[in-house]
C-alpha cells in the first residue's frame, strides 16, 4: 500500500530520498522555500517555510515519515535559523505521528581520538557542534517521552552528485579538472571518511522504515577512509585526468582570515577535522540495515558526472 512521505529540503540528500521513495511507489512531497521542481516523476513540490509549524503540519498530516534534509547554507546564521526550524519539525512530528528522520553530521562529537561511533558522547565545544548536539538531544528526549518517534543518521563529508560548492572535495574539483592546483584545509595526507549522498538517503529511508532502530543515531555506511589528496587524485583519474598539486591551507591561516571574515571564522572553528585522522565506524549500521556503501569507483564517477552536468 502506498504511503505518504514529506521531505524537507531539495539538496542532494533530499532529492535522493524523494527519488528512492517514488521509485518504490510511495507518494512524496518535497517542501522548500521556493517550491522548486526537482524534476522527479510523481513527486509533488510545495513552497513552504518549514519553520511555520502550522503550515508544515497541514502538509504532513497523514504522512508516514517526515525527513529533515534541511541545510541552512550560511554558517554564520545557524543560531538564528536552526532552533525555530527544529522546533517546528518536532511540533509537526508530534501533531501528525509521522516518524521524524533527521539527516545529521559528525559535528556533535567534536575533536575525537579514534573512530567515531554512535555510542560516543556528543562532546563538541564549538558552537555549531553544540547546536547540532542539542537538536538531536531535544528529538531524543521527545522520543523517550513517547511524544514522537525519531531517528538520526550521521554522515561524514559528502561526495556524490549535487554536493557542488558545499562539498569539501567538490568545491575544488572544477579547478582540478582544468589541471589547476588546489588548496585543501589542514593536512592533506591524513585518513578521512567521506560519504556518498546516495548512501545517506538509503540509510535514512531504511532507518525511518525500521521502528526498532528509532531513538538513537546511526552512522551512514561509507567507504574506507582516504586522504584529501588521494580523493582528489582518484576523482581526477575517474575522469581520465592526471593528478594536480594539492596544497595545504594551514589552520593558522584560517584563524587569521577569520579575524576579518565571519565565514572563515566559522570554517576555522571546524578545522580540527582536518588536522588529525577523522574517520567513522559504521559497522552497526551495516549489520542493522544490510547496507554497503556505493563502490568507490562508482562514487568517483558519479561525483565528476554531477559536476559536469
As a whole number, the mean pLDDT across the chain is 94
**Predicted local confidence at residue 249, as pLDDT:** 81
pLDDT band at 299 (very low <50, low <70, confident <90, very high): very high
131: enclosing H helix or E strand: helix 127-144
Q: What share of the chain is helix, strand, coil (3-state, %, to 5)?
A: 45, 20, 40
* CA 273 – CA 257 distance, rounded (Å): 18
Give the Cβ contact number of residue 121 at 10 Å: 9
State whether the Cα torsion 142-148-149-154 is positive or negative: negative
Cell of 53: 509549524
Strand partners, 55: none
* pLDDT tens per residue across span 210-264: 999 999 999 999 999 999 999 999 999 999 999 999 999 876 776 766 666 666 6
Nearest residue to 95 (alpha-carbon basis) of 44, 55, 131: 55
Of the candidates 136, 184, 177, which has an alpha carbon nearest to the alpha carbon of residue 157? 184
Given CA atoms 105, 77, 252, 232 in this order, what sign does their dihedral have? positive
Output the pLDDT for position 263: 66
| CA atoms of 136 and 120, how far apart (whole Å) | 14
Q: In the prediction, which pLDDT does 308 show? A: 86
Q: Top-level CATH class of 4-160+194-221+280-293?
A: alpha beta
- Which pLDDT value is given to residue 78? 85
Contact 191, 277 (CB under 8 A): yes
pLDDT higher than 70, residue 189: yes
Query: What pLDDT score was predicted for residue 235?
Result: 98
pLDDT at 183: 93
| % of the chain residues with pLDDT over 90 | 85
- Residue 210: CA atoms inside 13 Å, Cβ hemisphere, count? 20
Q: How far apart are CA 251 and CA 249, in angstroms?
A: 7
Distance of CA 71 to the CA centre of its chain: 8
pLDDT in the model for residue 71: 86
Q: What pLDDT is recorded for position 76?
A: 77
C-alpha to C-alpha distance for 237 and 138, rounded to whole angstroms: 44
Only one residue has cell 518549514, namely 50
Q: Residue 180: pLDDT band by 50, 70, 90 thresholds?
A: very high
pLDDT at 2: 81
> Within 10 A of 295 (CB to CB), how many other CB atoms are there?
11
Res 262: pLDDT: 67
pLDDT at 73: 72
Return the bridge partners of 65, or none.
5, 99
Tens digit of each residue's pLDDT (9 = 90 or more) over 120-173: 999 999 999 999 999 999 999 999 999 999 999 999 999 999 998 778 999 999
Say yes or no to pLDDT of 194 above 90: yes
3-state secondary structure of 97: coil
Q: Comparing C-alpha atoms, which of 23, 30, 26, 24 is closest to residue 6?
A: 30
Alpha-carbon distance values, 144 to 105, 138, 139, 214, 216 (Å): 21, 10, 9, 10, 10
> 164-189+226-274 adopts what CATH topology?
UDP-galactose 4-epimerase; domain 1 (3.90.25)
Length of the chain counted residue by residue: 309
Residues 6 or more apart whose Cβ sits within 8 Å of residue 251: 185, 186, 268, 271, 272, 274, 275
Answer yes or no: is pLDDT of 1 > 90.
no
pLDDT at residue 118 greater than cutoff 90: yes
Read off the pLDDT of residues 71-110 as tens digits, 9 standing for 90 and up.
Answer: 887 777 888 999 999 999 999 999 999 999 999 999 999 9
pLDDT score of 270: 80
Q: What is the pLDDT of residue 176?
A: 97
- Rounded Cα distance between 78 and 34, Å, is 20
Would you list the domain boundaries of the chain?
4-160+194-221+280-293, 164-189+226-274
Does the structure show a pLDDT above 90 at 267? no
pTM of the predicted structure, to 2 decimals: 0.95
- pLDDT value for 258: 61
Contact between 160 and 12 under an 8 Å Cβ cutoff? The reply is yes
Amino acid at each position: 500500500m502506498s504511503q505518504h512521505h514529506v521531505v524537507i529540503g531539495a539538496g542532494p540528500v533530499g532529492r535522493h530520498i524523494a527519488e528512492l521513495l517514488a521509485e518504490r511507489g510511495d507518494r512524496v512531497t518535497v517542501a522548500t522555500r521556493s517550491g522548486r521542481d526537482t524534476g522527479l516523476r510523481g513527486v509533488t513540490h510545495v513552497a513552504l517555510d518549514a519553520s511555520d509549524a502550522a503550515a508544515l503540519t497541514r502538509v504532513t498530516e497523514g504522512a508516514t515519515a517526515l525527513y529533515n534534509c534541511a541545510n541552512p547554507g550560511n554558517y554564520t546564521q545557524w543560531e538564528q535559523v536552526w532552533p525555530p526550524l527544529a522546533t517546528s519539525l518536532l511540533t509537526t512530528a508530534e501533531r501528525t505521528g509521522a516518524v521524524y528522520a533527521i539527516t545529521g553530521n559528525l559535528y556533535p562529537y567534536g575533536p575525537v581520538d579514534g573512530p567515531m561511533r554512535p555510542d560516543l558522547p556528543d562532546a563538541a565545544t564549538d558552537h555549531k557542534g553544540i547546536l547540532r548536539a542539542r537538536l538531536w538531544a531535544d528529538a531524543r528526549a521527545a522520543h523517550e517521552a513517547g511524544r514522537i518517534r525519531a531517528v538520526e543518521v550521521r554522515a561524514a563529508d559528502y561526495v556524490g552528485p549535487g554536493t557542488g560548492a558545499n562539498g569539501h572535495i567538490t568545491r575544488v574539483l572544477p579547478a582540478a579538472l582544468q589541471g589547476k592546483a588546489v588548496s585543501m584545509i589542514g593536512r592533506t595526507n591524513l585518513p578521512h571518511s567521506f560519504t556518498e549522498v546516495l548512501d545517506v538517503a538509503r540509510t535514512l529511508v531504511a532507518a525511518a522504515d525500521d521502528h526498532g532502530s528509532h531513538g538513537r543515531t546511526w552512522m551512514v555506511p561509507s567507504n574506507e577512509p582516504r586522504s584529501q589528496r588521494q580523493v582528489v587524485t582518484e576523482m581526477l583519474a575517474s575522469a581520465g585526468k592526471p593528478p594536480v598539486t594539492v596544497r595545504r591551507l594551514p589552520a593558522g591561516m584560517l584563524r587569521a582570515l577569520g579575524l576579518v571574515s565571519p565565514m572563515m571564522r566559522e570554517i576555522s572553528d571546524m578545522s580540527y577535522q582536518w588536522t588529525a585522522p577523522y574517520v567513522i565506524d559504521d559497522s552497526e549500521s551495516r549489520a542493522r540495515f544490510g547496507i554497503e556503501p556505493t563502490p568507490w569507483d562508482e562514487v568517483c564517477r558519479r561525483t565528476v558526472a554531477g559536476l559536469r552536468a
